[in-house]
Each structure stands twice: as C-alpha cells, then as structure tokens.
A and B are shown apart, each in its own frame.
Chain A
Amino acid sequence: MGMDFAVIWRNLPYLLEGLLLTLQTALLVILGGTALGVGLGILRTSRLPVAKQAAVAYIEAIRGTPLLVVLSVVYFGLPPVVGYRLGAYQAAVVGFTLFIGAYIAEDYRSGLASVPPGQIEAGLASGLSRGQVLAHIVLPQAIRRMIPALFNQFVRLLKFTSVASIIGVMEFTGAAMTVNAREFQPLPILATLAATYLVVCSLLSQVGRWLNLRYAIAA
C-alpha cells in the first residue's frame, strides 16, 4: 500500500466540490452561529427571568451534548415530533449553528465582563436607553474583545463540519470517503484531507490574528 497521489488528481474536481461545500457550510454557520451566540448571550443578561433561564438552560443543554447527538436530533429526532422536513445539508447547517451558538454565547459572557460597568452606568446616566447602551457601548467593545475566542470557535467549527458526512452530506470529508470507498487508497486520501484542513484552519486563524491586531482594544 504505497502513497500514490494519482488518486487525488483523478478525483480532483469532485474533491474540490466537497471542499467548496465545506467552506460554504462553515461560512453559513459562522454567520448564523455568531448571531445566535450573541443573541443568547444578550438574553442571558436580560432582566426577564424567563428569558434568562431559558437561555441558560439552552446553553447548558447544548454544551453537555455531543455534536453528533445534536445533529441526529435535528436530522432524525425532531422532524416527527415537530412535523417538519429537512434535507441533510440543511439539517447540518441548522444543527451546527444551534451547537456553536451555545459556545459563542459562553464567550460573549467573558467579552461582556470585560466592559467596565462604569461605562454602562455612564451611558444610562447620560440618558441612553438600555438598548442604546447595548448597541453603542457594550456590543462594539464586547465583540472586539471576543475576536480571539470567536476565531477559536470558527476553527473548531470548520473542523467539525466533517461530521456532516455521517448524515450523508458530501462535504470535503464525505467526498473523500466516497472516493476512498471506490478506490480504496486510504493513506493518500487521508493525508490530503489532513493537509487541506491544516491549511484552511491555519488561514482562518491567521485572519483572526490579523483582525485582532487591527481591531483589538488596548487593555
């Protein structure tokens, strides 16, 4: 069983299509997950006890559950209960978003904690509403402080989009394993997978580092 990379060249268009799907999934989940995470994070600081409790319960439940189980619940478990139908790809995007949102909400907490309470009080005292304080004082600072943590989550998310292959989404890992099932050359295929994920993840963390340098607030 040698390392013959011809198998990669033969299947390059198919693999690239998979990689593209992986990137597309990651991008959608990054956008959705960040929105959900920040939303949940805001809800948790809400004055309504019900909203607060619900956000905490959601975050804890998701953080205690493996991704594959969350994905299975969204794809197999919930449809008969709630009565909807999702394709595998949609289920993956929804499941990943619901999953990573809980982790981002947790990071939002530390971002929020880094905004000095005096600033919030100053905002309220100068006549801004709570919503305005949130939008103009808290969020801009909290999000900028969250950049490193956020990009950690994004890199993690990029890797775990591979789990979508288990429910039949032909993203990068799924495509590679399909090629492997046809040609049975696991070593070159897995080496290519690993190298590509390494490059993409490094690029993504590089973007994070750059954004952090550019936008971080000096402590």
Chain B
Amino acid sequence: MRYRFEWGVLWQYRRALLHGFLLTLGLSVAGLAGAIALGILLGTGSAGERRWLRIACGGYVELCRSVPLLVHMYFWYLGLSALKVPGFWCAVLALTFYSGAFVAEVVRSGIQSVPQGQWAAGLASGLTRRQTLHSIVYPQAARIVAPSLAGIFSQLIKDSSLASVISVAELTFQAGAIEGVTFRTFEAYVGVSLLYLVIVSTISQITLFLFHRRAVDMTAYV
C-alpha cells in the first residue's frame, strides 16, 4: 500500500462540498415533504372502504415501488423533457413518487393496526369519519409507524444521491467533481459519505422525536 492520503482536498474544496450538502439537504427535505403528503393520501385511500380507491391506490403503490428510482429520475428528466422541468425538481418529483409509495404502505399498515373498536368508539361518540380519522386513528397510527418512517426517510436521503445522474450538483455529484480535478477519489467519497451520515442521523432523530412526542401528547388526553 503506497497510497498517500491527502485529506486536505476536502478542506480545499469546502465550498463545493457545502454547496452539495445544502442541495442534498434541500432535495431531501422537499422529497420528504412530497413523499409524506402523497404517502398519507395513498395510504389512507388503500386502507379505506371504497373498493375502487383501494385498488387504484394499491396498484399505484405496487407500480411505483417496483420501478427503480433511477428509472423514475429518467422519467421526469428525459421522458417528460418537453416540460423542461429543472433537474432539481425532476429529482424531487422522482423521490416523491418513489418514496411516497413506501410511505403509503407504512401508513396503510399503521391505520389497519389501529383496533376497529377505536373507529367504532369515535363514530359512536358523534365524531364524523374525518374527525375520527384525524383525532383518533392518525395519532395512534403515527406512534406505531414512527420507526419504519424514520427508516424510509433515511433511505430517501441516501437515494437522493441518484440525482447526480440527472446532473443535480448535490453531494455525490460534488464528490465526482472533486475527484475529476484532484484524483483523490477515496478521500472525496469517504468525506461525502460522512456528510450523508450527518444528514441521515439528524433527520431520523428529528422524526423519532416528533412522532414520539406527538404520540405521548395524545395519550395525555385519554
């Protein structure tokens, strides 16, 4: 092993790394927001009583989960290139529709794991279906699914690295750029993966904290 490490390149290219870091953060947060919104809608639909809605939501989830994220990215970037969506938003859409399907599965199983008696009690005490869903079923489901959601979220952050393929200059892209100039491939990618670790652990801690606290708050009403 005659390789001489030069970790200094990471400091030398700190501006590029910071830029990439912020873009990855932006991609992740926008993708997360989209995936959560879509996932709650689809998950509620596929746990619902309307048959056609269940089939439609289930079919969508099956399709989007089975298609590789890279193909999702190419779909928005190349397939719909006529729309001229900027690369960043192509990546956000791809992450939303891909991860949204996973969130939907988790939401569905969360809703279904809330005992039927809770629904019956809510309706019997005069709440509408919507109110029962919002104030009785969702809070309990949230507590059940928090760990799985945290897993999906950290996956989404790491998956956002594929945006580099459609030329979004996020972290992985910057690692490639630094490598191209300095040939310090190993240092660049290891440095970048440490930055991912920072984002992933921060967001999964926040997720667990938020959902856990919310769940505890709700039990206080009981």
Contact = CB atoms under 8 A, between A and B. Distances in A.
A164 to B, nearest CB: 10
A177 interface: yes
A186 B67 contact: no
Listed residue (B66, B158, B179) with the most chain A CB atoms within 10 angstroms of its CB: B66
A73 interface: yes
Given A73-B189, A186-B81, A194-B63, A165 B158 contact: no
Interface string A149-186: 00000010001101101100000010001001000001
Given A73-B190, A82-B1, A198-B67, A66 B158 contact: yes
B66 A201 contact: yes
Contact of A68 (B71, B79, B172, B197): B172
B68 A68 contact: no
A119 to B, nearest CB: 27
Contact of B197 (A65, A67, A198): A65
B7 interface: no
A79 to B, nearest CB: 8
B82 A1 contact: yes
Given A69-B175, A76-B179, A177 B74 contact: yes
A119 B67 CA distance: 42
Listed residue (B74, B160, B197) with the most chain A CB atoms within 10 angstroms of its CB: B74
Interface string A49-80: 00000000000010011111100110011101
Given A162-B68, A198-B63, A66 B190 contact: no
Interface majority SS (helix, strand, loop, mixed), chain A: helix
B99 interface: no
A72 B165 CA distance: 13
Interface string A72-95: 110011101111000000000000
B71 A72 contact: no
A65 B70 contact: no
Nearest to A22: B68
Contacts of B69: 159-160
Interface in B138-190: 158-162, 164-165, 172, 175-176, 179, 185-186, 188-190
A197 interface: yes
A36 B3 CA distance: 28
Contact of B79 (A64, A73, A186): A186
Interface string A182-210: 00001100100110011001100000000
A186 B74 contact: yes
Contact of B196 (A66, A77, A163, A165): A66
Chain A interface size range:
35 or more
A65 B70 CA distance: 17
A77 B161 CA distance: 17
A82 B1 CA distance: 6
B62 interface: yes
Contacts of B3: 80-83
Interface of B: 1-3, 62-63, 65-71, 74-75, 78-79, 81-82, 158-162, 164-165, 172, 175-176, 179, 185-186, 188-190, 192-193, 196-197, 200-201
9 contacts: A66-B159, A66-B193, A77-B186, A159-B66, A162-B71, A173-B71, A177-B74, A180-B78, A186-B81
The 7 closest A-B pairs by CB, nearest first: A66-B161, A66-B158, A201-B66, A77-B186, A162-B68, A159-B68, A186-B78
Given A66-B159, A68-B161, A83-B1, 15 more contacts: A64-B158, A67-B161, A72-B176, A77-B189, A77-B190, A78-B186, A80-B3, A80-B185, A83-B2, A162-B68, A163-B70, A186-B75, A187-B79, A194-B67, A198-B66
